[in-house]
A = this chain, B = another copy of it.
Amino acid sequence: MTYRITLLPGDGIGPEITAVARAVLEHVAALEGFRIEFATCAFGGASIDEFGEPLTEATLKTCQASDAIFLGAVGGPKWDRADARPEAGLLALRKALGVYANLRPAAVHPALAGKSPLRPDLVAGTDVLIVRELTGGIYFGTRERSADSASDKCTYSRGEIERVARIAFEQARLRRGKLTSVDKANVLETSRLWRDVVTEMGARDFPDIELDHMYVDAAAMHMLRAPASFDVIVTENMFGDILSDEASMLPGSIGLLGSASLGENKPGLFEPIHGSAPDIAGQDKANPFGAIEAVAQLLESLGETAAAGRIRDAINTMHEAGEWTGDLGGSLSCSQAGVKLVERLEAEA
């Protein structure tokens, strides 16, 4: 079996963590006996510098022709005032790939509970999966700007809500059977449609799943009051952006988490959830665990669950041994953490 994987290292610390991700992929492939053909493309700021635009037609074609895409990180102050923005490339890529469901797990490893900003007693046992709608809503609505005013339109169709809700229900079935749908149905029309569609689908297709609804403001509170009470959360694009970043603080470092963006029969897009961290770029200080977690998610999407399991085991072993980068109080550099993980993979093989 040969997989084509496109690497988009991007900007800032993106290339450093992508190098680790690639090494990990190569090693598990060897252990599990499959092959990977890599293609590497400029993306985001790096692509603006080289080609004048954040996502070129050629890069998109390469992505579309692959089995999965790994993205490092995009953006940085260098391009903040530019006409072509790295972020526009990311939004265009998501839309072109049709990856409408963004899966963002945030689980607190027992060895790391003391690193969370939340009290250890409160955060212990937290294991939440946020399913964020990724190709609709106010991110992709009509925009207007005049000298004196501006507007953004948020639109959702029944179909857009259904397809992401279905993924969330299915994930809940694979986990603890609980789904919390987050909206602002006391104010927004799109939220009322959202709530109707999710409620209907639950009753019709997922009567075994415990479904509840929460307003987005209440969810932002509940995430701090009782984080361990959540199983799967499903919500629209903008709310998901905010809530998943809030949730990403709970495990102790944003450097630990990966995200999977999935569509229908198309290559998925896998990335650590942290940004490009321009302040530490090029210093070999970044935490590569988020990238490695994204690699595990990538392998799962390809059906290579054994390979993903190997990676997760190795991550756990490192957590238990306190083998961390600086953000968690450890002493490993980014590349050292990568080498260590590969050693663990080989040792546990």
Q: Which residues of A contact B (CB under 8 A)?
A: 75, 85, 87, 91, 116-119, 122, 138-139, 141, 143-145, 147-159, 184, 186-190, 192-193, 216-218, 220-221, 223-225, 238-239, 241-246, 248-249, 254
Contact = CB atoms under 8 A, between A and B. Distances in A.
Stoichiometry (number of copies): 2
Contact of A119 (B75, B119, B151, B153): B119
Nearest to A196: B150
B249 A221 contact: yes
B241 A217 contact: yes
B218 A245 contact: yes
A23 B153 CA distance: 46
B249 A189 contact: no
B220 A245 contact: yes
Contacts of A138: 138, 154, 187-188
A13 to B, nearest CB: 16
Contacts of A117: 118-119, 122, 224-225
Contact of A148 (B158, B189, B241, B245): B158
B150 A187 contact: no
A49 to B, nearest CB: 18
